[in-house]
Amino acid sequence: MSESLINAVVLVVDDTPDTLALLHDALVESGYTVLVADNGLSALKISLEASPDIVLLDALMPGMDGFEVCRILKQDLNTRHIPVIFMTGLTESEHVVAGFSAGGIDYVTKPLSPVEVIARINTHLKNSRLINQTQGALDAFGQAAIAVLPKTGKIVWQTPLARQLIEKYMSHEDDLLIQDTPDALQEWVMQLHQGGERRLRPYIVHKPTGRLIFNAADLQSEEQWLILLREESETAQIEALRAIFNLTNRESEVLHWVILGKTDKSIGEILGTSPRTVNKHMEHVFTKLGVETRTAAASLAVNKLRSISGSNSFGVNE
């Protein structure tokens, strides 16, 4: 086992003592730290308190079964990132589908082969570590991004900015904080997964104040897909102009209204300043953009914005 996986914490959940003993010994011998639970409630408590790196979960248990345990784990922001592998003696398609629908990433069948179980755990832990590293980098740069399960469309992690944008554009008056994946977004991801060429256009949520665009960034993994979010609104465009051309806030506001065809007088009224001051700001904009006319400035700005935002899109109104 690679050094990065040594001491990884595995939670084994099964109501059969013999299965717990078999997996505990095999996993400890392979270098893992092992936690055990013999029922669903204990599994949830341990997952929340210890945050294991992966959960090996019996599908059928008395009381709360594994499917319900997995659903609860995936609904909690503190545990939804934990990969879940189901253990079951049932291989009928409906049980396999139930496992994936609940948020599981894989399943192994009983009677268990410890060698196979460990191989599956190794693979999923490596993928999970890579995904966590990616998430850390996205968090550090303030990127709006989510990771979703391709088969179900459910969000398994999201950066803080992504969470803010989803709540802003996809929450409802009676549910201001979204705890689960919005249905429309989930449907788009599942369509993306079912599409042969995986080339659906971006998913767009329209609001009167702007729109939120979801673009598939990485569809290579069969476990989790990376989706990038981008907000297009008056505020977002002004901020983008400021960043692209190194403008001041007021210069970017003036350029934004120039793009929309406003005159100096109209811009002055909008911003609460004089046309002369607006003209002065435009002179600075010309210098920074390397152009000489309003038309050239607007054209350059629009082309630059288009080049960083992409083109193909389709919209779904919320």
State pLDDT tens for residues 6-53. Answer: 678 999 999 999 999 999 999 999 999 999 999 999 999 999 999 999
Number of domains the chain contains: 2
Does residue 151 lie in a domain region? no
Range of the domain at 61: 3-132
Going across the sheet that includes 155-158, the strands are: 155-158, 145-148, 225-233, 210-218, 203-207, 314-317
* CATH code, domain with 126: 3.40.50.2300
Quick one: pLDDT at residue 309? 55
Structure confidence by residue, pLDDT tens digits, 161-196: 888 888 888 876 444 444 568 888 888 888 887 775
- Please answer whether residues 103 and 70 qualify as being in contact, where contact means their C-beta atoms are separated by less than 8 angstroms: yes
From the list 289, 137, 152, the residue with the least C-alpha distance to 228 is 137
* CATH code, domain with 282: 1.10.10.10
Locate the DSSP E strands across 59-141: 84-88, 106-109
The arithmetic mean of pLDDT across residues 54-62, rounded, is 93
Confidence band of 92 (pLDDT split at 50, 70, 90)? low
Domain end position, chosen among 132, 147, 182: 132
Label residues 27-43 b or e (16+ Cβ within 10 Å = b).
Answer: beebebebbbbbbbebb
pTM of the shown model: 0.50
Structure confidence by residue, pLDDT tens digits, 234-275: 887 888 888 889 999 999 999 999 998 999 999 999 999 999
Please state the separation of Cα 26 from the chain's center in Å.
Answer: 34
Does residue 99 lie in a domain region? yes
The arithmetic mean of pLDDT across residues 271-286, rounded, is 94
- 124 shares a domain with 16: yes
Structure confidence by residue, pLDDT tens digits, 113-128: 999 999 999 888 887 7
- 113 shares a domain with 205: no
- 191 shares a domain with 117: no
Tell which phi-psi region holds residue 194, choosing left (phi > 0), alpha (psi between -120 and 50) or beta: alpha
Q: Is the pLDDT of residue 93 over 80?
A: no
